[in-house]
Structure 1
Amino acid sequence: MPDLSLGDEAAVNALRSAVMRLSRRLKHQRVDESLSPTEMSVLGTLARCGRATPGELARKEHVQPPSMTRIVALLEAKGLVRLEPHPDDRRQKVVTQTEQAEAMLEESRRRRNAFLATLTEQLDEDEWAKLRAAAPVLEKLAHL
């Protein structure tokens, strides 16, 4: 960890704690309780990035390829992804989300957005402006 001043260390600690608590609260807004957070994350990655091989998904999700193979098999059994032949490499498959997954993700986003909107109603205008300004920075941190 880099050398931080006491003030910066306190800020990092507060940020970590707040992000974790908010994340846990958002996870409770799930549409399908039968999906693990990792399965939901894979579906979200497919929604953002489009179709991908299991190896590409494993890299993006920071899991080992055998683990991703199991996750994809579970999602396929639930009708949320389909495996298609790779256009250039017959040895590989490409994972694509289904319409059922798209609808589920949309409902999940709607529910979580509504939850956050309800929380933000408790903020004053200055707090809300600061949070809007922080959103791109938090997004950047999430993808570093």
Structure 2
Amino acid sequence: MRLARRMRAEQSDSSLTLSQTSALATLERKGPLTPRELAAQERVQPPSMTRIAAALEVAGLVTRTGHPTDGRQVLLAASPAGAALLREDRRRRDAWLAQRLRELEPDEVAVLARAARILDRLAGS
């Protein structure tokens, strides 16, 4: 968990919360979603997602368009600015982690590789 916190610290200087960053990343990965679908993906209540999406939209990181088949609904999508922010965050985190990995001894790298395979297996079950 300390590693996850440290990697989040490498995030861009944006003022996004973890919930906002996660929702934005989900939209980038999954494509346009209704607020209810996004709330389900993020495992939050729809009213919470409404607040998260509104903040992202005000920041210009999310776009809101009408649903193509249901006029009562809207679709949220990562805007080009939102996608660019996520790319920069990933680039910074990847650079930080790559530097830390270069500092490890070969036997430590082997242990990490084995642990990664085990964690992947656990995540898949």
TM over 0.5: yes
Does residue 111 of the first structure (1) align with residue 92 of the second (2)?
Answer: yes
Aligned residues: 125
Kept in 1: contact 2:35–2:75 (CA 8 A): yes
5+ residue gaps, structure 1, are: 1-19
Instruction: Decide which structure has the larger Cα Rg and report it.
Output: 1
Q: Secondary structure at the match of 1:83?
A: strand
**Shift in CA distance, 143/112, structure 1 to aligned 2, threshold 3 Å:** farther
- Residue in 2 that maps onto 1:35: 16
- Residue 80 of structure 1 is matched in structure 2 by 61
Indicate whether 1:55 and 2:36 are aligned.
yes
Tell which has more relative contact order, 1 or 2 (C-alpha 8 A, sep 6+): 2
Alignment partner, residue 21 of structure 1: 2
Q: Structure 2 length normalisation: TM-score? A: 0.89
Q: What letter is aligned with 1:70? A: R
Aligned to 1:92: 73
The CA distance in 2 between the partners of 1:132 and 1:77, in whole Å, is 41
Q: Which residue of 2 aligns with 1:69?
A: 50
Partners of 2:28 and 2:77 within 8 A in 1:
no
Which stretch has the larger CA shift, 77-86 or 29-38?
Answer: 29-38
1:123 pairs with 2:104:
yes
Provide runs of 4+ in structure 1 moved above 3 Å.
Answer: 132-144
**Secondary structure of the corresponding residue to residue 88 of structure 1:** coil
The Cα of 1:142 is off from its aligned counterpart by: 6.0
TM-score by length of 1: 0.78
Secondary structure of the 1:103 match is: helix
Give how far 1:30 is off: 1.4
With 77-86 and 133-142 compared, the bigger mean Cα shift is at: 133-142
1:46 and 2:20 matched: no
Cα RMSD (Å) = 2.0
Distance 1:38 1:50 in 2: 17
Structure 1 distance, partners of 2:25, 2:48, is 17
Among all aligned residue pairs of Structure 1 and Structure 2, give the percentage whose two residues are the same amino acid.
48
Change (3 A) 1:66 1:136: farther
